[in-house]
Amino acid sequence: MSRAYKTSQKKRTNYIYYTAEGAKIVITPGEDGVTEADIQLLHEMDDAEVDEQRRYNYRITAHLDAYHDGEGDDATDRNKYLADNTVNPEQLMIQAEDKAEHQDMLDKLRKAMDCLLPQQKELFKKVYLEKRTNTEIAAEEGVTEAAIRGRLKKLQQRLRKRLS
């Protein structure tokens, strides 16, 4: 199986399997003596297989690679998880440039925030700093969630205009 997701039970109307020889087998509930118990068992087996594939992919990409990167004494030098770049001059220059770019963008954002209305500044704070949902804000202000989305869109357009 090569699926990386689960299909909801409501959408599972039949099962298609292929034999090693490539023959197609279709299993449909209520046909050829297939019972709900059979279908439930297939759901569980398919879900278990998808879950196992996710776990396998995570373990291999995130963990195994973290400890193995080639052969020999210098293998750890090529391992991105074990390498120490703290004294690498190139890495230090890149970090400094990134920090300067980040600071420059923050300065531009501060200036752009001056063009916002007080209500827009408050909305910005609620959404981006307090990480509140549109629904929560709408309930608090007694408006629809669509109204909050509209306000956010106008806020973002104003900032985008100032930042570009």
- Give the model confidence (pLDDT) of 145-164 as tens digits: 999 999 999 999 998 888 87
- 16 forms beta bridges with 26
DSSP string, 45-70: HHHHHHHHHHHHHHIIIIIIHHH--S
Q: CA-CA distance, 159 to 115, in Å (whole number)?
A: 8
In a domain, 45, yes or no: yes
Q: What is the pLDDT of residue 6?
A: 58
Residue 101 domain boundaries: 89-163
Do 39 and 94 lie in one domain? The reply is no
Instruction: Report the number of distinct structural domains present in the chain.
Output: 2
Do 71 and 52 lie in one domain? The reply is yes
In a domain, 43, yes or no: yes
**Reported confidence tier of residue 20, pLDDT bands at 50, 70, 90:** confident
Q: What is the pLDDT of residues 59-85, one digit of tens each?
A: 665 555 555 555 555 555 555 555 666
pTM score: 0.42
